[in-house]
Structure 1
Amino acid sequence: MTPKTQTVQRVASIDAFRGFVMLLMMAEVFEFGRVAEALPNSAFWSFLSFHQSHVPWVGCSLHDLIQPSFSFLVGVALPYSMASRAMKAQSKRAMWFHTIRRSLILIFLGIFLRSMYAEQTNFTFEDTLTQIGLGYPFLFALGFRNEKTQWISLAIILFAYGLLFALTPLPGPDFDWQEAGVAADWPNHLQGFAAHWNKNTNAAWLFDRWFLNLFPRETPFQYNGGGYSTLSFIPTLGTMILGLITGKWLKNTASSAGFIRKALISTGILFATALLLSLTGINPIVKRIWTPAWTLFSGAWATLFLVAFYYLADVKQLKRWFYVLIVIGMNSIAAYVIAHTLNGFIDSSFRTHISGEYDLIFGQAYHSLVSGFVILLFEWLILNWMYKKKLFIKI
């Protein structure tokens, strides 16, 4: 068999996990928070609402794991992508051209989606696509290196990023908190050394007050309301490196048991290190600025999820159980764009052609569940049609 006829076997668990992550994002249309508000005495809807929203600052919900899981899977898929291109006798120069092109497309696609319905381009770089795009060339470069170099690179990235925050002076007694868009007595402020990672008074916030004002804006940038920042792409690269290492383990494993054992040991070490950093006050677990502790903590969760999907879909050969997820996972970019562009169109179409109150069939409390189900169903049907027609959007 010649190299041109060889193929890299697709791993069902990667597609299933990616589909699960994208489904969580697309399922925002259910708006569990609205149901929880309408039914304030329901612990069930309160639980679902919490896990479909981001925590205010320190901590983690299921929703907080969407972006790191997607970033982690970019790293997991890279060894397979590089092997596939090598089998096609693609030169290193051609691989780099594809990498840079992919990076730029992700960055500009992210900016485009964030600028929809705006009067001018919204230059922002903290969303999932732009964060991945900014770090992807560095990830690709590390894809050619050995595992030791990858671990060392991860350690340097996280240490340097943490040091940048630690060396940034804390706000003084005369600090104008209105400039940061957060109250001085905000209950989620951290104290002591951990205060270096407080919302909109940190190194990443200072960087964005300079960097984002280099671009044309309606008004000067002062702060991000959620505390998100451009510089998060640096530790996001750390998340992708964890995925890269795990992906190499998965691709090169001699046995499924060997991979699972190694991945679970890694998960335990990552969890323990992240919790130790957080509990000692050295570094809090904060997703919004992607602290080093968050990189390790979310990376542990992503690894654990991958192991679970791998065991069921690939080891136990239960791929058919995950058909709904695989349809989404194999067209993740299409799913991402569809979720950011078609929600309103599908809903308004039903109100025009079916009923202006079609979502009230089960009452006001559950209206977002009805409209969300309709939107999600039609978006999945589009992706299923593309899957059956083998129409896959790749960058």
Structure 2
Amino acid sequence: MEKSAIPSADNLSQPLNLANPNARVASVDVYRGFVMLLMMAEVLSFESVSKALPGSKFWQLLAFNQSHVPWTWLSLHDMIQPSFSFLVGSVLPFSLASRKNKGATTGFILRHALFRSLILVFLGFFLRSIGKDQTYFTFEDTLQQIGLGYTFLVLLGFCNPRIQIIALATILFGYWLAFALYPLPGPGFDYASAGVSANWEHNLHGFAAHWNKNTNLAWAFDRWFLNLFPRSKPFLFNEGGYATLSFIPTLGTMILGLLAGGVLKGERKTNEKLKCFIIAAICLSILGVLLQITNINPIVKRIWTSAWVLFSGDICFGFLALFYWLVDLKQYRKPFFFLSVIGMNSIVAYVMSDGGLRQYILDNLYVHLGSHYDQLFGIAYATLISGALTLFLLWLILYWMYKQKIYIKI
């Protein structure tokens, strides 16, 4: 933990504009705060409201965008992890420049990057093991996926954009090819052992079947890899279809962020930077959709397909362009203060939401306010009342840290 008058740029959550070391790239904080708010706001449980009001299309829409899609395409909630990964890459050019200005050698920076990678992986173990009888070894957690690729990202941070683009293309093509070459299930395949049905409505057909749930290369790798660790029972499949190997294309998402960060830190005029983000968003969208509709590669977040890197990357660039225009160009800072407070301590926000504090507060509100306090506007809106109050209390913790100039870094 660090308490300082000026937040250091040398961490995942605090980018600086090096043209003025005391200024922040405010749009990045706001974007990160928006992403973390989506995660924290799960406590509002729009799904519960939608079930209580089955005739409301409005609440159905909100519920859909607060949950993950079963397999292909996406909801707003599916953009949390790629956005967080993208932003890690976006701040890296600032972090590297800050360390170099302080006299850090390349070797020291790489050792520090490796240390960060390990911390993120082990923090993922800790969060996923809460409430379990033994350490739960898994590598699909957001922090772990970032940690597994972070040192490689730092290495690429020392390279020019051309090398970074070549690395991105190599990752996307290589990951696609590996899945494409892995054999499809044969006639006698035991789908039950993989936790799926041969007739599952979201199964893909033809060439795209190489990216079906729990019958793909990444699932086969985890059947071997995850059983190398102590487990209460053998690993057979991940119920959501998530996989360890997704860290490879996740690195691709971080490289997209690295390229965006290079533009942010560069000497282009602000309008030119905005134009770069918009053009990148359009190009990535076209490429991702073409791969999906031609059946060459489906857009699947859960195994982070190459098409997903491109399609989610276009949305990340779009969000960055929007916040950059509103916050940095138009200087609309005050309306986004709520998000900035969250974004400036994003690791804390992540741990509070994923580590149980959110649920602890939610449960204790019933103890202190009574079991029916959340039914002020009727039982249908109960989760909105309890969730909004919980969310506000979590934000107050982050606001106190902001006022005290306390920023948690890894």
TM over 0.5: yes
Distance in 2 between residues matched to 1:212 and 1:11, nearest whole Å? 40
Letter aligned with residue 247 of structure 2 = F
Counterparts of 1:31-46 in structure 2, within 5 Å, are: 31-46=45-60
- Counterpart of 2:375 in structure 1 is 360
Equivalenced residues, count: 392
- Counterpart of 2:395 in structure 1 is 380
Equivalent residue for 1:347, pick from 357, 362, 383: 362
Partners of 2:125 and 2:138 within 8 A in 1? yes
Partners of 2:299 and 2:311 within 8 A in 1? yes
Letter aligned with residue 21 of structure 2 = T
Equivalent residue for 2:239, pick from 215, 220, 225: 225
Equivalent residue for 2:93, pick from 64, 79, 83: 79
Distance in 1 between residues matched to 2:365 and 2:394, nearest whole Å? 14
Partners of 1:8 and 1:84 within 8 A in 2? no
Letter aligned with residue 385 of structure 1 = W
Distance in 1 between residues matched to 2:388 and 2:102, nearest whole Å? 42
- Counterpart of 2:406 in structure 1 is 391
Distance 1:314 1:110, change over 3 A: same
- Counterpart of 1:155 in structure 2 is 169
Q: TM-score, normalised by structure 1?
A: 0.97
Partners of 1:72 and 1:241 within 8 A in 2? yes
What secondary structure sits across from 1:223 in the alignment? coil
Distance in 2 between residues matched to 1:94 and 1:38, nearest whole Å? 56
Distance in 2 between residues matched to 1:352 and 1:55, nearest whole Å? 35
Distance 1:304 1:253, change over 3 A: farther
2:128 is the counterpart of 1:114? yes
Equivalent residue for 1:96, pick from 100, 103, 110: 110
Give 1:97 shift: 2.0
What secondary structure sits across from 2:406 in the alignment? coil
Letter aligned with residue 145 of structure 2 = Q
Distance in 1 between residues matched to 2:204 and 2:19, nearest whole Å? 57
- Counterpart of 2:4 in structure 1 is none
2:202 is the counterpart of 1:202? no
Distance in 1 between residues matched to 2:384 and 2:264, nearest whole Å? 38
Letter aligned with residue 226 of structure 2 = L
Distance in 1 between residues matched to 2:165 and 2:247, nearest whole Å? 18
Counterparts of 1:300-315 in structure 2, within 5 Å, are: 300-315=314-329
Listed one character per residue, the Cα deviations across residues 169-198 of structure 1 (whole Å, up to 9, x for unaligned) are: 001111111011011110000000000000
Counterparts of 1:168-207 in structure 2, within 5 Å, are: 168-207=182-221
Counterparts of 1:13-28 in structure 2, within 5 Å, are: 13-28=27-42
- Residue ranges of structure 2 left out of the alignment (5+ in a row): 1-17
2:347 is the counterpart of 1:333? yes
Distance in 2 between residues matched to 1:38 and 1:183, nearest whole Å? 30
- Counterpart of 2:13 in structure 1 is none
Listed one character per residue, the Cα deviations across residues 214-233 of structure 1 (whole Å, up to 9, x for unaligned) are: 00001000000000000000
Counterparts of 1:281-296 in structure 2, within 5 Å, are: 281-296=295-310
Distance in 1 between residues matched to 2:199 and 2:407, nearest whole Å? 49
Distance in 1 between residues matched to 2:268 and 2:401, nearest whole Å? 34
Listed one character per residue, the Cα deviations across residues 330-372 of structure 1 (whole Å, up to 9, x for unaligned) are: 0000111111221222122211122122222222211111111
2:384 is the counterpart of 1:369? yes
Distance in 2 between residues matched to 1:196 and 1:8, nearest whole Å? 50
Letter aligned with residue 363 of structure 1 = G
Distance 1:82 1:58, change over 3 A: same
2:109 is the counterpart of 1:70? no
Partners of 1:270 and 1:299 within 8 A in 2? yes
Distance in 1 between residues matched to 2:136 and 2:246, nearest whole Å? 18
- Counterpart of 1:53 in structure 2 is 67
Q: RMSD of aligned C-alpha atoms?
A: 1.3
- Counterpart of 1:249 in structure 2 is 263
- Counterpart of 2:7 in structure 1 is none
Larger displacement relative to structure 2 (171-180 or 340-349): 340-349
What secondary structure sits across from 2:339 in the alignment? helix
Partners of 1:52 and 1:61 within 8 A in 2? yes
Letter aligned with residue 61 of structure 2 = F
Distance in 1 between residues matched to 2:344 and 2:402, nearest whole Å? 8
Letter aligned with residue 389 of structure 2 = V
Partners of 2:277 and 2:320 within 8 A in 1? no
Letter aligned with residue 361 of structure 2 = I
Letter aligned with residue 107 of structure 2 = R
Partners of 1:347 and 1:371 within 8 A in 2? yes
